[in-house]
Structure 1
């Protein structure tokens, strides 16, 4: 692997070394405070994630409005949308099966020495009503705010709401006809500008990766595992089965080279691992999907934002399956065949219910409440949340790139020239010069 992918790997290795050094400096501090190196790694990593996240709203809006305008020339747009949702469900189904199988074989909750006093009800609970409410835009920008005495006013965005708003505006622009052409031209021009700025940020990924993985090593180390080591191992075994068994089988069955896919999607997987944020990685996912995998922009602009909010094989399939069985085993509750069926149903359909309040913990509460298991069991797992969240997010974002590639391949719209060019360029998302050809969304053929 050469180019950008190699730089990201180098950043991860450097970050690991810096993290170990920082951890040594922290342990030697007399006052117990974090060293200057840990503070630096934390600050640089947080700044990089913030840079990525700030590009999500304008990217989604411009890309979706532009793609809706281009989709008027596509005869199979509806079929693309349905196929995307179907493949979301298929991969989620086999992912939750892997999670259930691993939990039944490894039995992470049997003989666990985790302190029962850590059990506590979660602050957020997933619900279908919450999903419906989250889809309805509360304002034209899809923004929401919160206030706390420590951090003051915090603003956040809901990608599903931005997606709904963007689709509505795009369709309205089509209905407006010629009078909307200046707006569509502006939006397309704005998208090209956003792509250039985004590339500048993506080029900082090796530095961001080094800081993020270094901070993770310095902050968490292995001490947090404690009595939950067996549970963490079960989670990562389940995630590995999804990543290196289920995904390769799906790729092979659809005629996509397995090694070629993983080599191209490596920047997405690695950034997902260190950032722990599907939203933060979404701009990179979309760029890689379009410029390395060959998925047309008009389709990727719909599939990637949707996947970033509702395609979570790690957080919404493997994790709730293993965690629910862990809670049942810990409390000595026997699960029936119907309970396992419910786990599968909730995992396949339930990730949508957490889209407005993203988080694996929220998804777990939805699963536990459906099964009638104690919600207080969520508190048992909070200590190792950051450690397992890294693997979960890496799996999430990889799946978010996988499905659009599969659908595009099956529909005959995967751009083989883009795929071949990425092969020659080391599967990196390279852009030596920005030209009209490089920034213009690929045409979707019917």
Structure 2
């Protein structure tokens, strides 16, 4: 049975039980129904679909559910625990966006500022217009240059890397855009054309890495140091780090992949040279479920936790609004948004739960990671939840995250 607790998270007034209420209900959540969450994902472990899982749910400032099950390392017979570290991949992105929004609140930039005002290496970018004779790229001038808002919302004209056989894809591969430092990344990006007109398509891309470089330039600090000092330490996120430090390696869940027979095999993603130490704005953070939950709780509290305010309520409102222009094409190369959903400043935003086909509230926001991690923030229900696994691929893909959301929401009892 999952650990059902009522741990207080300061900064949010609890609206849960009084002595006269049903003892099955904690902060408006049914203990009995939350057991379905454990039962479902324990079954996924027992059937060999995932190695292990940690789930964490808080409502009205109380942790109402926390469970760990399965193995963090199958080969070493090391069990999963609530203190296990997970490489959260793209769940780094909302952290990066919060960092940049903190500088926005200091008046360092405006959303409609051209990115090149602060990163001159991205000035006068050309636009890819197809392939000409001999496979050479045809270029032209774009209608406008990318803005910082474009960088927040994946509409800047960038890619994540080769996504096909076009000349622009080959150019991204040859440039090794993701190699090196954040400064290297934007320098290399400045030598490439835009893949599409800014503001016309939503394409998952290196935009958050550009955000991270903006943090460095605007603050005068290394990105990882800014995040540690301005986000992790104030929020008391003691178990959140960049990469996979050697002294913590045995506390990390192994990242698995699904082979052709459907079996779990160690992926080795963090064992490649430099992989465990790289610092990026799009993916590089590792955390525990409870620690990431503190970040999520700050968001549901409209920017504050335990008396520490990182952002104003108005800035969280802005972050969690859909910023995609009407009719924008969804040319996602992975990590796309579903029907009924849009994209805010670094987060997926639910615009219409009926169209999205889920139980979330309008305005719910969050994101996921490549190895199956997921979180969401519902300010209407005063609800946050974190789902942690480490598995690349699998036929169910993002379905596990959707199942997690359903199993959390069905436990609401008020």
TM-score range, shorter-chain basis? Answer: under 0.3
Q: Which has the higher strand share?
A: 2
Q: State TM-score, norm by structure 2.
A: 0.27
Higher relative contact order (CA 8 A, sep 6+): 1
TM-score (norm 1): 0.25
